[in-house]
């Protein structure tokens, strides 16, 4: 069910700490279905905040979902098409917010003429990405703080530059 009161916009530096809380809560409270307590604690040991966290968000294209002007989710995209962070506050999950954020990210990637999007997706975001036409490259076991977690290397090809060039060349000779 999509919430029409959600607005998607660009990241503002003043929101960095609020996004850290969303990240922390999404992992600690929103991922209980897929990851045990030890795994969630290893994934995020404390709420990210401060200048380093703000810099991490600012170094990528970060889009933010807001309800009544307050952040409820966010997603990032780097220059290589990598989606590093994709989180929605637990009380706002399964309401279409992740899909709205993703739509904006894919539109930005296409506008930048990126050939593909890729990510190391958690169980939480794997389903969303699959709904958007992503493919599973491989399941991965990663270690954080001595604890093993499962994530999924995934990608979505946006266009094939070689094929696109060939199509353009054919149309020029028609």
Partnered with residue 70 across adjacent β-strands are 67
Model confidence pLDDT, tens digit, residues 68-116: 999 999 999 999 999 999 999 999 999 999 999 999 999 999 999 999 9
Per-residue confidence (pLDDT) for residue 146, from 0 to 100: 94
Q: Are 140 and 118 in contact (CB under 8 A)?
A: no
DSSP notation for 73-138 = EEEEE-TTSEE--EEE-GGGTTSSHHHHHHHHHHHHHHHTT-SEEEEEE-HHHHHHHHHTT-EEEE
Percent of the chain with pLDDT over 90: 86
pLDDT at 159: 78
Q: What percent of the chain has pLDDT over 70?
A: 89
Mean pLDDT, rounded, for 32-40? 94
């Amino acid at each position: 069910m999509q919430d029409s009161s959600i607005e998607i916009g660009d990241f503002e530096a003043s929101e960095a700490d609020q996004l850290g809380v969303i990240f922390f809560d999404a992992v600690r409270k929103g991922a209980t279905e897929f990851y045990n307590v030890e795994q969630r604690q290893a994934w995020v040991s404390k709420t990210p905040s401060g200048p380093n966290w703000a810099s991490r968000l600012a170094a990528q294209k970060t889009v933010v979902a807001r309800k009544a002007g307050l952040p409820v989710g966010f997603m990032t995209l780097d220059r290589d098409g990598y989606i590093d962070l994709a989180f929605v506050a637990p009380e706002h999950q399964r309401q279409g917010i992740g899909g709205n954020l993703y739509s904006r990210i894919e539109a930005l990637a296409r506008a930048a003429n990126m050939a593909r999007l890729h990510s190391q997706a958690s169980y939480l975001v794997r389903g969303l990405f699959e709904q958007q036409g992503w493919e599973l490259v491989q399941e991965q076991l990663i270690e954080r703080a001595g604890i093993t977690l499962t994530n999924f290397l995934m990608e979505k090809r946006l266009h094939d530059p070689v094929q696109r060039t060939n199509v353009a060349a054919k149309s020029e000779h028609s």
